[in-house]
């Protein structure tokens, strides 16, 4: 593991935990999308195509793990967990469009617009985004979940995915494409941080925040988890920048389009070694932040291990 971040000792448990939970989330996701009333069949098919393309379901798993720090039975927040993955999937579909990153492959299969055409791909993304809020709102019907907390979750998800969150990060990313090298050392560092924080970290952060909020966790604990989510999300994106350069297409399941699109990335700005050092620092800070939680160590450890896992070079 040359380029890997190896701050934590790994055991197989976290991988089996992740894949087991991902399977549960997968099942729910398909159920929610297949059960959409009056859904136009071709549109539902396009939505399911990208949902079924797989992925580690990191955001929903993080939400359930954060919930479990405070309450048992993570199944009570499966709707909320799924809404996070629907938002994530929509962002990938739109991100791959010719007008954006123009990617032909994602997770080893053709991107949505390559199969369904650009028009339907735009709509499939729109629908996943919109229906995510429907699925999330439905969580209020689950026993033991306070409607007021679901409303808070709607606030968090919409803020973290909107113009001040992920969409803002994507817009900055788009604007920064081809950012001239000579300009990079004036305000490019700030721009790069904005992009990473919002493009990726915001939705990771939203995952742990929503898990904690739905568990009715104390304000202070919500804040700790929110901070931890932000830092692990940033670390995750930095490692992703590195992977875009170092991983082969087969492993990543997509073509490394950053260099082709002249993206402003951690690697293009600081190089691989320094980027990985930064990611390690962030993971360390994540662990320190999580240690502030006065909660059962075994439960907190799960979040820590997920953070470590998503920053692995061979994830």
Minimum distance of its own copies from residue 197's CB (angstroms)? 9
Q: Which is nearer to its own copies, 190 or 250 (CB)?
A: 190
CA distance 162 to 208: 17
Q: Which is nearer to its own copies, 168 or 211 (CB)?
A: 168
Q: Which residues bind its own copies (CB under 8 A)?
A: 33, 36-40, 42-44, 47, 90, 94, 97-100, 117-123, 125-127, 129-134, 136-138, 140, 147-148, 150-151, 154-155, 157-159, 161-165, 167-172, 174-175, 194, 198
The answer to whether 211 touches 66, Cβ cutoff 8 Å, is yes
Minimum distance of its own copies from residue 15's CB (angstroms)? 32
The dihedral over CA atoms of 258, 81, 298, 149, expressed in degrees to the nearest 10, equals 120
Q: Which is nearer to its own copies, 21 or 199 (CB)?
A: 199
Q: Which is nearer to its own copies, 18 or 124 (CB)?
A: 124
Minimum distance of its own copies from residue 265's CB (angstroms)? 17
The dihedral over CA atoms of 130, 136, 137, 138, expressed in degrees to the nearest 10, equals 110
Query: 31 exposed, middle or buried (CB, 10 Å; 0-12, 13-18, 19+)?
Result: exposed
Nearest Cα residue to 128 out of 213, 59, 29: 29
Q: Which is nearer to its own copies, 73 or 118 (CB)?
A: 118
In the chain, where do the E strands start and end? Answer: 105-106, 109-110
Minimum distance of its own copies from residue 90's CB (angstroms)? 8
Minimum distance of its own copies from residue 203's CB (angstroms)? 11
CB atoms within 10 A of CB 68: 21
């Amino acid at each position: 593991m040359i380029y890997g971040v190896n701050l934590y000792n790994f055991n197989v448990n976290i991988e089996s935990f992740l894949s087991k939970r991902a399977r549960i989330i997968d099942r729910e996701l398909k159920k929610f999308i297949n059960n959409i009333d009056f859904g136009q069949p071709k549109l539902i098919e396009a939505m399911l195509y990208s949902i079924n393309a797989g992925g580690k379901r990191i955001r929903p798993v993080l939400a359930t793990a954060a919930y479990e720090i405070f309450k048992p039975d993570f199944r009570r927040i499966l709707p909320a967990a799924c809404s996070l993955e629907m938002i994530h999937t929509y962002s990938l579909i739109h991100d791959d469009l010719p007008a954006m990153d123009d990617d032909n492959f994602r997770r080893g299969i053709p991107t949505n617009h390559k199969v369904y055409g650009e028009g339907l791909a735009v709509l499939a993304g729109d629908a996943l985004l919109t229906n995510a809020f429907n699925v999330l709102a439905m969580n209020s019907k689950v026993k033991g979940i306070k409607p007021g907390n679901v409303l808070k979750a709607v606030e968090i998800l919409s803020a973290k995915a909107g113009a001040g969150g992920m969409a803002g990060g994507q817009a900055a990313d788009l604007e920064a494409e081809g950012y001239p090298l000579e300009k990079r050392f004036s305000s490019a560092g700030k721009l790069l941080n904005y992009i990473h924080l919002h493009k990726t970290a915001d939705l990771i952060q939203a995952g742990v925040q929503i898990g904690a909020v739905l568990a009715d966790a104390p304000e202070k604990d919500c804040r700790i988890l929110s901070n931890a989510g932000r830092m692990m999300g940033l670390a995750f994106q930095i490692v992703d920048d590195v992977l875009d350069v170092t991983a082969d297409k087969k492993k990543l399941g997509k073509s490394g389009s950053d260099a082709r699109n002249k993206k402003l990335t951690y690697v293009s700005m600081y190089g691989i070694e320094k980027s990985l050092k930064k990611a390690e620092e962030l993971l360390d800070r994540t662990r320190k932040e999580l240690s502030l939680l006065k909660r059962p160590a075994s439960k907190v450890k799960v979040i820590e291990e997920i953070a470590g896992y998503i920053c692995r070079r061979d994830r």
